[in-house]
Amino acid sequence: MTLKKLTISILLSLFFFHKMEAQQLPQNYEKKIDSLIGTEFGNQNDPGGVFLVAKNGKPIYRKAFGKANLELAVNMTPENVFQIGSMTKQFTAVAILLLEQQGKLNVHDPVSKYIKDYPGGDKITIHHLLTHTSGIKDFTRMKSLSSIAQKEMKPEEMVSFFKNEPVDFTPGEKFDYNNSGYVVLGYIIELISGDTYENFIQKNIFDQAGMSDSYYASDRKVIHKRAYGYHKKEKGFVNKTVISFSVPFSSGSLMSTVDDMLKWQQALNQNKIVNPDESQKAFQKYKLNNNEEFTYGYGWHLKEINGVPDREHGGSVFGFKSMGVYIPKEDIYVIGFSNCDCHSPTEITRNIAKITQTSLKK
């Protein structure tokens, strides 16, 4: 076969493959998703959102809704950068697993091994922090939080803010979602690596995964294609409350795009950041002291969509909400961002995953 014929043959194969892949989705799939998102993000003059659906690592739906900036009347685009809130925890958890892979820590190490003066730190392990079973006080529930919300806090100052609070329960006794645990993990990452959390995530995750539009959040830096955050009040929308990102820190201070989050999911699937043995620790269920299983791994909720196991997590920070769902068995990834904490993408994202599952089976 000549080179010309071979090239034509390959191109035809690719054409028919993509055509076949496209035909797997029913014609009304896009309209169904549009309609679903429109129930919450239907007003194009309001703050909006971006949604992406991928199958086998390839986008099959990718759209923006509403405004990225109300004052300048700028339309949202799929490329806009959002604060992702607690989806940050995925990155913190994987950073810890990377340090374990490098032999620099063990997830069963007590916190006191790294933070000598942490109260009860000999009984609280890194595993407890990762799984929200530590019992330490969640700083977001502390009345005194407003006193530091806009202060620039060092990681050790953030830990000191809550570490002497009475514990809510014995480590391992129950699962109770906790932001403080992930702040402690960020501090441990800095202590062990000798670098800032921001730099560690940038070099070891964002750069490795090719996530060129992901950042540690800042209101001062000029961030290209930033979506601005809003609250909804009785008289209309207002700009988001300004906080210091050193407060949520490693529990909720990252920014990203839907495209970069797909790169993140692919990097996990392809073991670009950590090896399969380490990543598996993030995606397995664990048990409490009484042997009762709970549905959280390291940085992900482990639930089901239409009876099929999934990995999911949302985020909420002033002015923004986020939600991501991944179904490993079917390699379906759905990510949704909102730039108003009045619009939640959580149930919409889960329902998009359900529709996608059903549509691909037809």
Mean pLDDT is lowest, of 20-24, 208-212, 239-243, for 20-24
Phi-psi region of 172 (alpha: psi -120 to 50; beta: other; left: phi over 0): left
Q: Residue 91 carries which side chain, given as an amino acid letter?
A: F
- At 317, phi and psi to the nearest 5? -145, 155
Identify the bridge partners of residue 215 per DSSP, sorted by sequence position.
255
Enter the tokens of residue 61.
Answer: 């739906």
Closest listed residue to residue 140, CA positions, set 285, 313, 315, 299: 315
Are 346 and 338 contacting, i.e. CB atoms less than 8 angstroms apart?
no
Does residue 8 register a pLDDT over 50?
A: no
Are 119 and 164 contacting, i.e. CB atoms less than 8 angstroms apart?
yes
**pLDDT tens, position by position, 172-213:** 999 999 999 999 999 999 999 999 999 999 999 999 999 999
Nearest-10 Cα torsion for 61, 314, 354, 332:
60
- At 325, phi and psi to the nearest 5? -130, 130
Instruction: Report the predicted TM-score, pTM, of the whole model to 2 decimal places.
Output: 0.93
- Listing DSSP states for 53-86 in one string gives EEETTEEEEEEEESEEETTTTEEP-TT-BEE-GG
Enter the tokens of residue 307.
Answer: 């009876």
> What pLDDT is attached to residue 26?
85
State mean pLDDT over 38-51: 96
User: How far, in Å, are 52, 120, 325 from residue 230 at the CA level?
Assistant: 21, 40, 24
> What pLDDT is attached to residue 352?
98
> What pLDDT is attached to residue 360?
86
Question: For residues 282-302, b (16+ Cβ closer than 10 Å) or e, as one string?
Answer: bbeebeeeeeeebebbbbbeb
Are 309 and 198 contacting, i.e. CB atoms less than 8 angstroms apart?
no
The gap from C-alpha 41 to its chain's centroid, in whole angstroms, comes to: 21
- Going by pLDDT thresholds of 50, 70 and 90, the confidence category of residue 162 is very high
